[in-house]
């Protein structure tokens, strides 16, 4: 049996379905659909030099890789590489071939460092460390049973605060972009990010097929969004918090918790049965909030870094 690596063919439904299937099997705490895979392939920022790779064995997709430069980082040369293999098809060379192909692509485009997320399992960590990667940080995946969970009751916003949804900003989402940019810049990370390109944000975030504007709750003060929780769904049963944050001047007032509770209630009312989220292991405040909602840690992911010399 021979394993080959090639580029995803975004116009071939079987490729899109295979990519999403492998990602779902290997990482069930995120949401990927054939539609989102196609969108990501078609709307990658040109400065990212993005590639979506698949490993194929006997005509079947058994592994995937997302590869590119972090174009929104203030530090140049930061490469991103995330590899996932069908858990039933590991140990046959797919992962190694995907990594080699991806690293060659990144090095040819000026990457000096590669960052990769790896599930915290002995085999995965040994795979990364054997190839010269070192641990940088970690994050937890959390889940919540929306059918049986006793969500905190909905609360009235404090005086001067109004709860809306992202759908209310459909005519002009720029205020949400400004809030997202501020919160992203303060998010714990080993790779800085600066959201300065509004048009790129519209393509990569606002128009993304996983975004659910009617479930994305926003706390508003004097017409200005000051806290939000970004909702992604698969359109069927799974809901995921893509980002939750508060503008600096409004922190410490419980507004992120207020928005997230509103979003979770909306998701359950819409028929979603499972809520997913993720937090940096050092992000105590958000971990505490999610524990308050009833989320439970299900897995941990480790960020590995390798310098390209």
Task: Name the percent of the chain lying above pLDDT 70.
Answer: 97
Q: Which pLDDT does position 35 carry in this prediction?
A: 98
Mean pLDDT along residues 221-230: 97
52 vs 242, higher pLDDT: 52
State yes or no: pLDDT of 157 exceeds 90: yes
Mean pLDDT along residues 237-264: 95
Q: Determine phi and psi for 50, rounding to 5 degrees.
A: -75, 145
State yes or no: pLDDT of 199 exceeds 70: yes
Task: Name the percent of the chain lying above pLDDT 90.
Answer: 90
Q: Which pLDDT does position 74 carry in this prediction?
A: 85
Cβ(259)–Cβ(228) under 8 Å?
yes
Mean pLDDT along residues 231-245: 95
Cβ(220)–Cβ(163) under 8 Å?
yes
Q: Which pLDDT does position 285 carry in this prediction?
A: 85
The domains located in the chain, with CATH, are: 3-111 (3.40.630.30), 144-300 (3.40.630.30)
Q: Determine phi and psi for 168, rounding to 5 degrees.
A: -70, -10
State yes or no: pLDDT of 229 exceeds 80: yes
Q: Which pLDDT does position 25 carry in this prediction?
A: 97
Per-residue pLDDT tens for 88-138? 999 999 999 999 999 999 999 999 999 999 999 999 999 999 999 999 999
Per-residue pLDDT tens for 158-180? 999 999 999 999 999 999 999 99
State yes or no: pLDDT of 195 exceeds 80: no
- H or E element that contains 279: strand 274-280
**pLDDT band, very low/low/confident/very high, at 196 (cuts 50, 70, 90):** confident
**pLDDT band, very low/low/confident/very high, at 189 (cuts 50, 70, 90):** low
Sheet holding 78-85, edge to edge: 3-7, 51-57, 60-69, 78-85, 113-119, 296-307, 134-145, 274-280, 238-246, 224-233, 217-221, 161-165
Average pLDDT, the chain: 94
pTM above 0.75? yes
Mean pLDDT along residues 270-276: 98
**pLDDT band, very low/low/confident/very high, at 193 (cuts 50, 70, 90):** low
The b/e string for 40-77 (b: 16+ C-beta within 10 A; e otherwise) is bbeebbeebbbbbbbbbbeeebbbbbbbbbbbbbeeee
**pLDDT band, very low/low/confident/very high, at 191 (cuts 50, 70, 90):** low
Local structure of residue 180 (DSSP, 8 states) = H
């Amino acid at each position: 049996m021979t394993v080959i690596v090639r580029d995803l063919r975004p116009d071939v439904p079987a490729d899109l379905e295979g990519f999403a299937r492998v990602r779902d099997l290997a990482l069930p705490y995120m949401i990927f659909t054939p539609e989102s895979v196609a969108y990501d392939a078609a709307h990658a920022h040109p400065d990212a030099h993005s590639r979506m790779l698949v490993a194929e064995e006997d005509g079947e997709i058994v592994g995937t890789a997302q590869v590119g430069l972090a174009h929104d980082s203030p530090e140049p040369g930061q490469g991103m590489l995330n590899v996932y293999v069908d858990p039933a098809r590991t140990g046959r060379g797919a992962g190694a071939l995907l990594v080699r192909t991806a690293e060659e692509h990144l090095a040819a485009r000026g990457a000096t460092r590669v960052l990769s997320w790896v599930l915290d399992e002995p085999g995965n960590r040994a795979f990364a460390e054997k190839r010269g990667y070192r641990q940088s940080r970690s994050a937890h995946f959390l889940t919540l049973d929306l059918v049986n969970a006793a969500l905190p009751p909905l609360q009235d916003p404090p005086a001067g605060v109004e709860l809306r949804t992202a759908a209310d900003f459909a005519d002009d989402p720029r205020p949400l972009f400004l809030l997202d940019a501020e919160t992203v810049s303060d998010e714990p990370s080993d790779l800085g990010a600066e959201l300065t390109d509004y048009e790129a944000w519209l393509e990569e975030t606002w128009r993304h097929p996983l975004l659910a504007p009617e479930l994305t709750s926003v706390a508003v003060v004097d017409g200005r969004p000051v806290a939000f929780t970004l909702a992604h769904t698969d359109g069927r049963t799974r809901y995921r918090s893509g980002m939750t944050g508060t503008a600096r001047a409004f922190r410490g007032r419980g507004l992120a918790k207020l928005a997230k509770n509103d979003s979770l209630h909306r998701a359950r009312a819409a028929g979603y049965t499972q809520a997913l989220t993720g937090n940096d292991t050092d992000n105590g405040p958000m971990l505490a909030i999610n524990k308050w909602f009833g989320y439970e840690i299900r897995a941990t992911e480790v960020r590995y870094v390798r310098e390209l010399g």
